[in-house]
Structure 1
Amino acid sequence: MHIEPFNIAIAQDALDDLHNRLRRTRRLIAIDGQGWSEGVDLEFLDRLLDHWLNHFDWPTRQAQLNRLPQYRATVGEQQIHFIHQPGTGPAPMPLVLTHGWPGSFVEMEKLIPLLADPASHGGEAEDAFHVVVPSLPGYTFSPAPLHKGTGPFEVAGLWAELMTGLGYPRFGAQGGDLGAGVSSWLGRRFAERLTGIHLNYIPGSYRPSLGPDQPTVNAQEQAFLDRSAHFAETQGAYAKVQGTKPQSLAVGLNDSPAGLAAWIVEKFQAWTDHDSNLEQAIELDALLTNISLYWFTGCIGSSFRPYVEGRARPLAFAAGERVTVPMGVALFPAELPMPPRSWVERSFNVQRWTSMPKGGHFAAMEQPQLLAEDIRAFFRPLR
């Protein structure tokens, strides 16, 4: 497997083009009291776009990101961009962290040092990890696949091969959102290589066996199914279009930075833990770093592909199928609908189940310290 160092280098003309497009934004007129109830709050969007144009310092953020040890590897026919931060400790455990949508590898920026060098951040050196953070195919600096058929199932195979190429025959996996799906497939497909899987979200496509020989759905499980159905009805339009007709949407978002920002930031507002103020959870510069990466790499369209592919191969289990790899789950209070432990235990070997005091869907960005502590605690007895 060929691996080479990688640095982010966005050309000045790309930055100039972004600024010119932002200056020419055609703004919508807000309806009184509309707020976030029907999508992005237009007043917030105006302020975000103004910050992007007049205050956000991309060159500084690019330099900060380039302090991370970044690489590109050729895995089969797929190029994969990834961060590889060796651990500082007596026996670091290899761990692959997988981001989701509408995030990117920058979700893990604050989490990486807490896991790679815990002794410098209030932890124990014995809990150190060799941290690997790949960018999903078609996200930021991992080029988009040229053919159909690369979803979470296939990405798990790419990650297994990447970890082999890095010299890690056994490793742990962690993720939320799409990363939870990839991590689950890693545990299902490569059980002999996984020390454990830690999730801060249960994949929406997860379906345990509910045959006649299985326990009947209990009250807690039915309440979860009802919450999930309500979420799909009231907030699930994005997933429906991204999984069925993504290309038409992608054309507009790929051409308009304002449209791209609106589509992405609405999810951060809806899925993070805050009191009606998104900036309580995530700073504007952090939001714009992620959105800028989507813009500069033109990856919004290819970022929708896992939704299409995931519909074709959901994380469904037949009777008798079970993942034996130890699993830990961290439940953040502002997360999307999460099932009870009994629902997950139908198909997974749950060893740790932690209710977190605060945080939401983007836990690695919102509460990196809390997430790091739970990851360390879960993997500690598995070393």
Structure 2
Amino acid sequence: MSAITLSTTRRELLLTGAAAAAISLLPGALRPAASAAPIRPFSVSFPQEQLDDLRRRVAATRWPDKETVADSTQGVQTETAQKLAKHWATDYDWRKMEARLNALPQFITEIDGLDIHFIHVRSKHEHALPIIVTHGWPGSIIEQMKIIGPLTDPTAHGGSEADAFHVVIPSLPGYGFSGKPTAPGWTPVRIAKAWATLMQRLGYTKYVAQGGDWGNAVSEQMALQEPPGLLGIHTNMAATVPADISKALAAGGPAPAGLSPDEKRAYDQLDDFYKNGLGYAIEMNNRPQTLYGIVDSPVGLAAWMLDHDIRSYQMIARVFDGQPEGLSMDDVLDNVTLYWLTNTAISSARLYWDNAHFPSGGFFDPRGIKIPVAVSAFPDEIYQAPQSWAEKAYPKLIHYNRPAKGGHFAAWEQPTLFTEELRAAFRPLRQQI
């Protein structure tokens, strides 16, 4: 495919054909500046031998003895893992996900010495609000694919033209199709700067950011950096835990007196997670390179990813027991297979190590954000941030809601509720575009 050059009032960007077609749709005010690095179109196509090797490895799994308890207190249960493996080895078809990805405009651009992969879907509605949406671990761009249509084409999904977004979904460094850092230091602070560069490179002069998990850390760092054009952020895993609560949690004692019911529930959720759910994070914080087993065993990788937080695991276990609720078996395997085929189990884990060695505050500690923030507190998140904590953490809180259903992977699990939250969250800021 030959390269072509587009000129827009003395601004030029060298692009291959597919990327040029996407850029040609941009109004003049949104076209990339002359200093922008090349943006290259991207598509997904893994060799069949890699898919055959994956099936062979799944079928050849060496299984441990069954757990000695009747619940999940020892980790991912054998029955769940074996059901996952059976579906993976016999019925699952990665090519369907590959086709869905290739139906979307995908690109690669180099920022700060690293190739960054991203999906970029523009709305047909002229006054759409640009948004950059960031995934976390053990997530990927696959988490957000269900919300692209409702956000970019709201009139076809129960909304109005005034609800439209232009959507940018990047893969974190070391994740998916983005480049893998070869030196330490790619922290949320550095990623936030890269995301601002990306939005500038795409020509967006005013935009918002969204994220949960690491995506929240990145979005909150963007809010702290206040790059030109960032109007506000939305989080579905807010950092709102007051200092006295953090101290009590670290001590492992009972909840402080005087908490409201919502605050007490949040405390109990956090206490349970810190005592029972942090094993994966401790290992990746300290020794990510040791995780060779999940690079060599697909089922080992899947079990490691499933064991993120107890409520997500319980939901996924029900899915493989024939009770889909938001996610399907294929949804779960799409995400795990992406990690496997891109060999990103360890490169993604290093984000924890980088953050631990170049710290920027506790994961749930308020950061002193001064720009507008919107919070959606889903009930089955690691903790459901109480409104009282959110109001203290975010002085410019423009939206707070507690949706009826959803957990850590809210956009993936409950895309309709998640879309409604983003529409409501950013309405107060639309008048600024």
**TM-score, normalised relative to structure 1:** 0.91
Q: For residues 275 and 289 of structure 1, what CA distance do their matches in structure 2 show?
A: 13
After the TM superposition, which residues 259-270 of structure 1 pair with which residues of structure 2 at under 5 Å, given as runs? 259-267=300-308, 270=311
Deviations 1:50-91 (Å, cap 9, x if unpaired)?
111110011222112211111111112011000000012230
* Relative contact order, higher structure (CA 8 A, sep 6+): 1
Q: For residues 54 and 273 of structure 1, what CA distance do their matches in structure 2 show?
A: 23
Q: What residue in structure 2 maps to residue 213 of structure 1?
A: none
- Structure 2 vs 1, CA of residues 273 and 202 (structure 1 numbering), >3 Å: closer, same or farther? farther
Counterpart contact for 2:288–2:349, Cα < 8 Å: yes
How many residue pairs match? The answer is 374
Q: What residue in structure 1 maps to residue 17 of structure 2?
A: none
Please identify the structure whose Cα radius of gyration is greater: 2
SS of 1:325 mapped into structure 2: coil
Q: 2:352 aligns with which of 302, 307, 332?
A: 307
Deviations 1:245-290 (Å, cap 9, x if unpaired)?
11112x1101111100111123376326849613334101011110
Letter in 2 for 1:188: L
Unmatched runs of 5 consecutive residues or more in structure 2: 1-36, 246-255
Counterpart contact for 1:100–1:178, Cα < 8 Å: yes
Q: For residues 313 and 63 of structure 2, what CA distance do their matches in structure 1 show?
A: 26
Q: What residue in structure 2 maps to residue 253 of structure 1?
A: 294
Q: 1:62 aligns with which of 92, 98, 114?
A: 98
SS of 1:109 mapped into structure 2: helix
Q: Does 1:9 align with 2:56?
A: no
Q: 1:356 aligns with which of 396, 403, 406?
A: 403
Q: For residues 362 and 274 of structure 2, what CA distance do their matches in structure 1 show?
A: 19
Deviations 1:18-72 (Å, cap 9, x if unpaired)?
1221121101121454342211111111111111111001122211221111111
- Structure 2 vs 1, CA of residues 17 and 316 (structure 1 numbering), >3 Å: closer, same or farther? closer
Letter in 1 for 2:369: V
Q: For residues 144 and 218 of structure 1, what CA distance do their matches in structure 2 show?
A: 47
Q: 2:312 aligns with which of 262, 265, 271?
A: 271
Deviations 1:112-162 (Å, cap 9, x if unpaired)?
111111111110111111100000000010111111111111110000000
- Structure 2 vs 1, CA of residues 167 and 192 (structure 1 numbering), >3 Å: closer, same or farther? closer
Counterpart contact for 1:153–1:182, Cα < 8 Å: yes
Cα displacement (A) at 1:207: 6.7
Q: For residues 345 and 192 of structure 1, what CA distance do their matches in structure 2 show?
A: 25
Letter in 2 for 1:126: A
Q: For residues 302 and 256 of structure 1, what CA distance do their matches in structure 2 show?
A: 16
**TM-score, normalised relative to structure 2:** 0.81
Q: 1:77 aligns with which of 85, 105, 113?
A: 113
Counterpart contact for 2:391–2:397, Cα < 8 Å: yes
Counterpart contact for 2:277–2:308, Cα < 8 Å: no
Q: For residues 87 and 367 of structure 2, what CA distance do their matches in structure 1 show?
A: 50
Q: What residue in structure 2 maps to residue 170 of structure 1?
A: 206
Q: Does 1:287 align with 2:323?
A: no
- Structure 2 vs 1, CA of residues 185 and 192 (structure 1 numbering), >3 Å: closer, same or farther? same
Q: 1:324 aligns with which of 370, 384, 392?
A: 370
Counterpart contact for 1:271–1:360, Cα < 8 Å: yes
After the TM superposition, which residues 81-230 of structure 1 pair with which residues of structure 2 at under 5 Å, given as runs? 81-190=117-226, 192-203=228-239, 219-220=259-260, 224-225=266-267, 227-230=269-272
Q: For residues 75 and 321 of structure 1, what CA distance do their matches in structure 2 show?
A: 26
Range 217-226 or range 52-61, more displaced: 217-226
